[in-house]
Structure 1
Amino acid sequence: MLRRIAWDAAQLHNRLCFFISRQGLIDIQRFEEIISLTNVPIFLFVDNASEHKIKILELFRIISRTRAAVRIICAESFVLWNALCDELEPHVGAEYEMRYLAENEIDGLLTKLDLHDSLGYLANLPVDKRQSELRFVHGRQLLVALLEATHGVPFVDILTEEYKSIPSNEARQLYLDICCLHRFGPPVRAGLREEKLVPMRANFASLGVTRMQGRYSRV
């Protein structure tokens, strides 16, 4: 999605945009040269911000020193942002969450997938069954719907990889606790967070686990 936003910004709005994928490299010297050679705003889109945190912080120092018109748009899952990106938090000007798909968005997504021959196994289902798959089976979440519906990748595999990427045993245990509460939906007292989760935050200070939220993706 971030790549598409960058493409639209460049093509539809004629902006100077750069996209950095997870495997990409932010070349500080080249960006510093670009900044010095142009007087137009620069938009840098960075996927998986935790992978590029050090370089992003270097860019912020250059931007501050040169007063350059540079906007950095990052995407990251909440668990990795909370665990690894605490130093980026002071620079965040706005947050956008990938929410559940609405009815019209489900229909629009299916139309686009069909237009570009990207329905995956959904192509073998009647139209009403396709809609049902996105509405109920995949819980309307865009990332879940696209991965599971078009490629047949179980969402549990995504969660497993995310879980394995958490850098401490304590944070992994907290991740499991939150997943269990979300999965089974038991009634929970309002004071649970203060009694159980907040004290645990002190143990995670070195990891930058500053907010505990059940949402999946952060941009």
Structure 2
Amino acid sequence: MYTNFFDEFFLDNNPKPLELYLILGSAGCGKTTALKQLALKIADQGGRNVYFIEEYKADFLEFIIELDYRNTEPYYIFIERVGDLSVDIANIIKGAKSSKAIFISSENPKIWTTRVKVNLGLYVTESLDMSQIKDSDADLILNKLEMYGNWTRLSRMSNKNRKIELIQKSKRQLLIGLLEATSGEGYNEIIKKDYASITCASEKSLLMLAGLATIQRVPANESTLTRALSYLNLNSDVHYLSTNMDGIVQYLNGNVTTRHRVYIEQLFHLYVPKEELKEIISAYIKSFSVYQFPIARNISRNEFTIYKHLVNAKYLKKIFKDDKDSVLSLYESFEKTFENEGLFLMQYGLALRSYDENIQAYEKLRIAQQAFPESPHIEHALAQQRIILACNDKNETSALALFSEAESVLNRLNTANIRSNVGAFDRYPIITLSEGHVKVLDNLGLKIEAKVIAKQYYDRITKDSELFSNIIVQQTSKKLMKYYLTGRWPEKSDN
């Protein structure tokens, strides 16, 4: 698949500086392998330098400027996850801040659609979605398996049945297809046997800790894992433990990785008890408490990706199967430790909000804003919480006072230079503002005023071409128009 991608987009088109080429693919489809093979193929041709980036914490624009200076010809920048640098890359391409960089990257289709496309969608030169195995790929994959893989079971089948094993049973997902075809065991059974074979508590804990990083597609750091294992009163020699788990956990230069994230997600979902997971996550969170606050400024990009994931309200609700006591008790246990850590407090507030504990959520978000006043995400979350309280307040004076505080913040955040940073991984401020304003007025029984405001916001949004290009903003504009016409805010089923 990636060979055709290379031939069509690179040999035929002769890529030019500031072009962006994108490989899309779901978990386990082989997009990272394809990206690395492309990088090697271009490097082997010579003539242009190739740089492959897995993590970059420093100023990315300065990095590009330095590479422009060092290269006399255009060069290729391969980036494993474009989402991590989407705002930076968009600014470089839009502002023509490089005369030599050609970008090639990969991303999960869901992440691309919901988080990254809003920044980079206009700048993609060519893209390929390789999420699923195609019928034309089957013979090539089977030939490679016969030459290099486990062929014993497949050798007894007809070519037709081999394709059924590879394609149909896996629902066209490469990783699962290879597991099904070569082993003959159900994917979940493979995971169950692997996990059951680990009898050492320290090794099991290392697998789960490193697995939490794998889910975010980054390696776990040895020093952080060492602290977490120590907090669990287990053997904290990460290198030693890794050598005993060959094929399940890999250790390389202080970084620890596990099998594919699909494997880890199924392991957590099916075979690890909730209380055991809670202990593991708590130990991992605690291992970040040694850093100065805000933690985001004092750790690497990979480490921050893990920390942000561990304290994320949506993730904790998902992994604890929406058990309110498990989610909130975990936050409560760290409330004092992280009393000056804005991100943690924001997520605590969002968790409380999700369980309709809105007054408590407001207090946590207010403290989060005090702890990290420079964060537009926290400002946005606090403004949204004020609107939620206003929507539940029948007193016109206090409700409008709450909304007024939120309105000034959201209008400021909606300016173009701030909006991109908030909107990339959050609701756009204009969405929160427009929907909230209409709902506050509607809650107070001011329906005529609410309809007028809905039309004003509709006009404001649709006249901003950059803003209106976002699909989520378009959905909000439709809701505003429906309210203007009907006087009723549409529910999800009405959209």
Counterpart position of 2:130:
98
Which among 65, 69, 77 is matched to residue 44 of structure 1?
77
* Inter-CA distance 133–49: structure 2 relative to 1 (3 Å threshold): same
Alignment-mate amino acid for residue 77 of structure 1: N
**Aligned pair 1:135/2:135, yes or no?**
no
TM-score, L = length of structure 1 = 0.57
Matched, 1:125 2:154: yes
**1:113-151 CA deviation, whole Å, 9 max, x = no partner?**
343x3x35x653325354321131113344543566569
Distance change >3 Å, CA 15–CA 58, structure 1 → 2: same
User: Where does the alignment leave 5 or more consecutive residues of structure 1 unmatched?
Assistant: 174-203, 212-219
Residue 39 of structure 1 aligns to a residue whose secondary structure is coil
Give distance in 1, aligned partners of 2:92 and 2:153.
48
Aligned twin of 1:6: 39
CA 1:43–1:52 in structure 2 vs 1: closer, same or farther (change >3 Å)?
A: same
Give the 4+ runs in structure 1 shifted more than 6 A: none
CA distance in 1, matches of 2:182, 2:92: 37
- CA positional deviation for 1:46: 1.2
Deviation at 1:26, TM superposition (A): 6.4
Quick one: which amino acid aligns to residue 69 of structure 1? Answer: K
* Structure 2 unpaired stretches of 5+: 1-33, 189-260, 270-308, 319-425, 430-466, 473-495
Q: Structure 1 residues 3, 83: closer, same or farther in 2, change over 3 A?
A: same
Amino acid at match of 1:124: R
Shift of 1:72: 0.8
In structure 1, the residue matched to 2:64 is 31
Q: Do structure 1's residue 206 and structure 2's residue 428 form an aligned pair?
A: yes
Note if contact 1:82-1:210 (Cα within 8 Å) is conserved in structure 2: no
Say if 1:77 and 1:7 are closer, same or farther in 2 by CA, change over 3 A. same
Question: Are 1:50 and 1:76, in contact at CA under 8 Å, matched by a contact in 2?
Answer: yes
Counterpart residue number, 2:278: none
- Shift of the 104–95 alpha-carbon distance from structure 1 to 2, 3 Å rule, reads closer
Q: Using a 3 Å threshold, how does the CA distance of structure 1 residues 65 and 14 change in structure 2: closer, same or farther?
A: closer
Tell me the equivalent position of 1:69.
Answer: 100
SS at match of 2:127: coil
Which structure would you say has the larger Rg? 2
Tell me the amino acid that sits aligned with residue 169 of structure 2.
Answer: V
Q: TM-score, normalised by structure 2?
A: 0.29
Cα 1:144–1:42 change in 2 (3 A) is farther
For residues 124 and 101 of structure 1, do their structure 2 counterparts lie closer, same or farther at Cα, with a shift above 3 Å needed?
same
| Contact preservation (8 Å) 1:98, 1:142 | no
Q: CA separation in 1, counterparts of 2:180 and 2:107?
A: 20
Deviation at 1:99, TM superposition (A): 5.5
Picking from 48, 58, 80, the partner of 2:111 is 80
CA contact (8 A) 1:26 1:52 kept: no
Cα RMSD of the aligned pairs, angstroms, is 4.1
SS class of match (2:428): helix
Q: Which has the higher contact order (CA 8 A, sep 6+)?
A: 1
Q: Shift of the alpha carbon at 1:44?
A: 1.2
How many equivalent pairs are there? Answer: 169
Q: Paired residue for 2:262?
A: 158
Contact 1:20 1:26 in 2 (8 A): no
Aligned residues of 2:77 and 2:101 also touching (Cα < 8 A): yes
Partner of 2:471, secondary structure, is coil
CA distance in 1, matches of 2:89, 2:66: 16
Contact kept in structure 1, 2:165 and 2:180, CA below 8 Å: no
Asked if the contact 2:39–2:50 (Cα under 8 Å) also holds between the matched residues in 1, the reply is: yes
AA partner of residue 158 (structure 1): V
Of 95, 109, 121, 2:141 maps to 109
Aligned to 1:101, the other structure's residue is in SS state coil
Cα pair distance change 1:87/1:158, threshold 3 Å = same
Residues 153 and 76 (structure 1), Cα distance of their counterparts in 2 relative to 1, 3 Å cut? farther
SS at match of 1:135: helix
CA distance in 1, matches of 2:107, 2:52: 14
In the alignment, is residue 145 of structure 1 matched against residue 186 of structure 2? no
8 A Cα contact 1:53 1:88, kept in partner:
yes
In structure 2, the partner of 1:199 is none
Q: Alignment identity in percent?
A: 21
1:16 equivalent to 2:49? Answer yes
